[in-house]
Amino acid sequence: MSRTFLGTPAFPEAARSALANTQLRRNLAHATSTIRAKRAAVVGEVAEWERLRRAGAALKDRTLRHLDTYLQQLEESLTRAGATVHWARDAAEANRIVVDVARRHGTDEVVKVKSMVTAEIGLNDALAAAGITAWETDLAELIVQLGDDLPSHILVPAIHRNRSEVREIFLREMGRYGRPAPADLSDVPAELAAAARAHLREKFLRSRVAVSGANFAVAETGTLAVVESEGNGRMCLTLPEVLISVVGIEKLVPTWADLEVFLQLLPRSSTGERMNPYTSLWTGVTPGDGPQEVHVVLLDNGRTQVLADEVGRQALRCIRCSACLNVCPVYERTGGHSYGSVYPGPIGAILTPMLRGVGADAQVDSLPYASSLCGACFEVCPVRIDIPEVLVHLRAEVVDSHRGHPSAQNAAMAAAAWTLGDARRTSVAERVACAVGKLLRRTRRRAPGGRATLGALPGPAARWADARDVPIPAPESFRAWWARTDGGRTEQQ
């Protein structure tokens, strides 16, 4: 159970094989259209939704622009409430902290609440290397873990699996790790959920250490929040003796009152509900109730790099609702695995390159291009992240990082710059193009709408023309027409 995204090919190649998987496309189309309709209905109920979104964005901007102050305040309030605060520069440091705490308690297993950040840092593998098994307790994470699979969605990591696939995984795998699934298990979702309940209950009741993330951390009070549906979160946050929460430094909100904005924005954007079934809020240690040893690991792991990017900084507002995935025409067709990252979809296409840096890895550099820039993601984002703006900004960074390296595209761009940079050269190029256009026009086909197009192009341009209609150059350039007709004044009507 240790698959990683390492080795995923660049987006276009990964997308091509995903597109060929008709089962995957059916599963995704069904799931994303269901959730889109639910979200639209409950968002439509809120008269001041736009004002709420703007409040969410402003609160996150306030936090991010004064993050050092708020982090120190959070550390103070957590410590006052009896929690132990750790700081981790990167994934390795965070993993080491969690492993050390677990080891100190002599445990060989931990139960886990679904958390994006622990997936980001590869915590399960680090625990396994230390001889500690991490049990994923969210239903979808359990499906992914038992199926030796990779998550493909932020909210519903097993969105690429349908009910009969889930049934097969449960029947085949549950018995290897604990209570087996009933032999007569059907593929009715309620029965599958009941099998997960029975399988995990013994683990909840016996585990002494739990690991969670947090949806929000309140600087003023030291309160952490976990928003969930199944009750697996409550189990992990309540029953064990020791709780370790790994929290990205962008998860802060300044005050308790600020939660009112996010607890309205998140459930409606995420699962399309007025409120998710369970929200747990806890502030350090409560004597006689819940874990009596509470650790909070504050994680950077590239976030300060995102913060330094004045255009990209807004990505740190993200509250991981996944609304942008559900409306994205690219995500809907290619699924989450094509993005080769824990964070898929539009938000992943900007967050992953910024967390990891552009210019070093062809797969990462392909992500800002995994979009048609249609803007649907910006429209649904509950904290108004202008994802298309950041995508374009990152495309420029990718291009800049490859400057000076010879490539067909760079050669073409350099040639174009040389030609277009001088009026005389441009007019020569136009005359040549028009002459070629006249020749081709006699032989070539017409695209729908009557526009004459070239079919295939030769050489390195072939791939570009693969998915695009290349228009045949006009018989006369605009400049030639202007000169001939004195700007249209002498043209025959």
Partner 1 sequence: MSARDEILGRIRAALRDVPATETPADIAVDRPAPAAASPADVDTFVERVADYRARVVRCTPDELAAHIAAECTGRVLVPADLPTELWPAGAVPDHALPVTELDDVDAVLTTAALGIAETGTIVLDHDPGQGRRAATLVPDRHVCIVRADQVVPDVPSAIAKLDPTRPQTWISGPSATSDIELDRVEGVHGPRNLVVLLLG
Answer yes or no whether residue 162 interacts with partner 1 by CB under 8 A: yes
Contact with partner 1 (CB under 8 A): which of 25, 163, 208, 395?
163
Instruction: Tell me the closest approach of the beta carbon of residue 356 to partner 1, in angstroms.
Output: 16
Residue 154, SS3 per DSSP: coil
String of b and e for 87-124 (b: at least 16 CB within 10 Å)? ebeebebbbebbbebbeeeebebbbbbbbbbbbbbbbb
Answer yes or no whether residue 65 interacts with partner 1 by CB under 8 A: yes
Nearer to partner 1, 265 or 472 (CB): 265
Answer yes or no whether residue 201 interacts with partner 1 by CB under 8 A: yes
| Residues 106-135 close enough to bind partner 1 by CB under 8 A | none
| Euclidean distance between CA atoms 235 and 108, whole angstroms | 18
**Going by DSSP bridges, is the β-strand pair 216-218/223-228 parallel, antiparallel, or unpaired?**
antiparallel
Nearer to partner 1, 209 or 454 (CB): 209
String of b and e for 178-191 (b: at least 16 CB within 10 Å)? eebbeeebeeeeeb
Beta bridge mates, 88: 299
Nearer to partner 1, 11 or 303 (CB): 303
Strands, DSSP E only, in 95-138?
Answer: 109-112, 133-136
Q: Which range of residues in 175-183, 270-278, 381-389, 392-400 is near partner 1 by CB under 8 A?
A: 270-278
Instruction: Give one word for 87, left, alpha or beta, with left for phi > 0 and alpha for psi -120 to 50.
Output: beta
Nearer to partner 1, 62 or 393 (CB): 62
Contact with partner 1 (CB under 8 A): which of 84, 229, 410, 426?
229
**Cβ of 326: how many Cβ atoms within 10 Å?**
30
Give 429: exposed, middle or buried? Use CB within 10 Å, 0-12, 13-18, 19+. Answer: middle
Instruction: Tell me the closest approach of the beta carbon of residue 98 to partner 1, in angstroms.
Output: 14
**Going by DSSP bridges, is the β-strand pair 252-253/109-112 parallel, antiparallel, or unpaired?**
unpaired
The H-or-E segment that residue 244 falls in is: strand 242-248
How many Cα atoms occupy the beta-carbon half-sphere of 128 within 13 Å? 10
Contact with partner 1 (CB under 8 A): which of 19, 171, 281, 311?
281
Instruction: Tell me the closest approach of the beta carbon of residue 371 to partner 1, in angstroms.
Output: 23
Instruction: Tell me the closest approach of the beta carbon of residue 249 to partner 1, in angstroms.
Output: 7
Contact with partner 1 (CB under 8 A): which of 21, 84, 87, 369?
87
Q: Which range of residues in 174-182, 279-287, 399-407, 441-449 is near partner 1 by CB under 8 A?
A: 279-287
Answer yes or no whether residue 259 interacts with partner 1 by CB under 8 A: yes
Size of the site for partner 1 (CB under 8 A): 96
Nearer to partner 1, 233 or 437 (CB): 233
Answer yes or no whether residue 21 interacts with partner 1 by CB under 8 A: no
The binding track of 293-312 with respect to partner 1, each residue x by CB under 8 A or -, is -----x-x---xx-xx-x--
| Euclidean distance between CA atoms 121 and 152, whole angstroms | 16
